[in-house]
Amino acid sequence: MGSGKTTIGKKLANNLNHKFYDLDKKIIKYTKKSISELFEIYGEKKFRKLEFNILNLFLKKKKSYILSVGGGTPCYKHNMFLMKKNSKIIYLNAEINTLFIRLLKQKENRPLISKLSNNDLYNFICDSLSKRFFFYKKADYTIYIENKSFLDIVKEIKNII
């Protein structure tokens, strides 16, 4: 949720000469609907079930890749178990204020926050991180991204994988 997973994932994949995939883009391709439409039509619970099924199919088929998943993905069903079984998981840890500034610029493209006031957005970030941290701390590696360039983060990830 605003930590730079997709941007860093693309740069890392390019640097390692691996394919890059974005789980949300896989879901969009499979359903022919945007993530916002899926949330609106099915609600978060059914969306997460669909996300789990597509993640499961993807992980069974692919090897040597970089995959970016949404911030909520590790927190539902057995997604974390699936990802740990099939890959290494890296959590990009960002400060709340950094996430807030980034997400303010992206609100309209994110269904869970698109209708929130700025104050509600800040509270949503705090609440989400406190609920999700239980899952995030299960990642194989945590990278603290504050005051680092994308290139520095990519180098740091390359050194640990």
Binding residues for Mg(2+): 6
* Binding site, annotated residues for substrate: 24, 48, 71, 132
- Between CA 90 and CA 142 the distance in angstroms is 6
Return the H-helix or E-strand segment holding 55: helix 35-61
Q: Are 87 and 25 in contact (CB under 8 A)?
A: no
Residue corresponding to tokens 């309209």: 108
In the chain, helix, strand, coil percent, each to 5? 65, 10, 25
Residue corresponding to tokens 């995939």: 21
Token pair in block for residue 10 = 């693309």
* Binding site, annotated residues: 2-7, 24, 48, 71, 110, 132
* Binding site, annotated residues for ATP: 2-7, 110
